[in-house]
């Protein structure tokens, strides 16, 4: 596949994905980004329980040195300081949850495919920046690994600055389209 073809497919994927995400962000409800903090708190409680159990000293030392509570506090302050809008987020926008339908229908082909987003179990109000950053990080993970831990990291697949900017532009363009008054 040529670089131009790959870039065209990437742009199309970005445009179609953001067309599905943006309408969710505009739901006019009270928005508090509690999902991320509740999730982190559950993880920290699990770590505390594991530390209280019969855990090898090296594992206990690693967890204590990481000081995950201090890291969580830093992250909360950082996200609040960034002033990222709180929007309705998918929170799991990895490639396995973005399906591109392809069939013989002329309206649904490679030049104009339909995108279906699935797996909404983690949806909640959250920081827009977190959802986008999480989407980018997911590019580096392959969940088809058959052996434990059942995924592989490949940071060469992390999106380039150009790819990230292309996605963000598509996202903001779609948000502007959705917010624009509709003619009757």
What is the predicted pLDDT for the residue at 37? Answer: 92
Q: If you average pLDDT over residues 70-78, what whole number do you get?
A: 93
The CATH architecture to which 1-30+86-184 belongs is Alpha-Beta Complex (3.90)
* Cβ pair 103, 145 in contact under 8 A: no
pLDDT category of residue 45 using cuts at 50, 70 and 90: very high
**Is the predicted pLDDT of residue 138 greater than 90, yes or no?**
yes
Nearest alpha-carbon partner for 65 in 51, 84, 86: 51
- Summarize pLDDT for 87-105 with one digit per residue, the tens: 888 999 888 898 888 765 5
- Summarize pLDDT for 146-166 with one digit per residue, the tens: 999 999 999 999 999 999 999
C-alpha 115/C-alpha 63 separation (Å) is 41
- Per-residue HEC secondary structure of 87-104 comes to EEECCCCCHHHEEEECCC
DSSP 140-157: TEETT--STTS-EE-GGG
Residue percentage of the chain with pLDDT more than 70: 78
Q: What does the domain layout of the chain look like in residue ranges?
A: 1-30+86-184, 31-83
Can you name the residues that pair with 115 across neighbouring β-strands? 100
């Amino acid at each position: 596949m040529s670089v131009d073809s790959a870039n065209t497919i990437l742009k199309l994927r970005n445009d179609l994905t953001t067309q599905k995400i943006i309408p969710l962000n505009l739901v006019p409800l009270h928005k508090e980004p509690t999902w991320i903090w509740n999730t982190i708190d559950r993880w920290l409680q699990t770590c505390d329980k594991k530390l209280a159990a019969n855990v090898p000293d090296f594992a206990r030392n690693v967890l204590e040195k990481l000081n995950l509570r201090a890291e969580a506090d830093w992250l909360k302050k950082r996200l609040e300081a960034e002033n990222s809008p709180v929007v309705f987020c998918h929170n799991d926008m990895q490639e396995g949850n973005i399906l591109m339908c392809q069939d013989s229908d002329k309206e649904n082909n490679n030049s104009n495919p339909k995108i279906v987003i699935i797996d909404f179990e983690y949806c909640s109000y959250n920081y827009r920046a977190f959802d986008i950053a999480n989407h980018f990080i997911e590019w580096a993970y392959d969940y088809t690994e058959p052996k434990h831990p059942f995924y592989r990291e490949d940071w060469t697949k992390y999106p380039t600055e150009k790819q990230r900017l292309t996605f963000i532009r598509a996202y903001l363009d779609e948000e502007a389209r959705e917010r624009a008054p509709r003619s009757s």
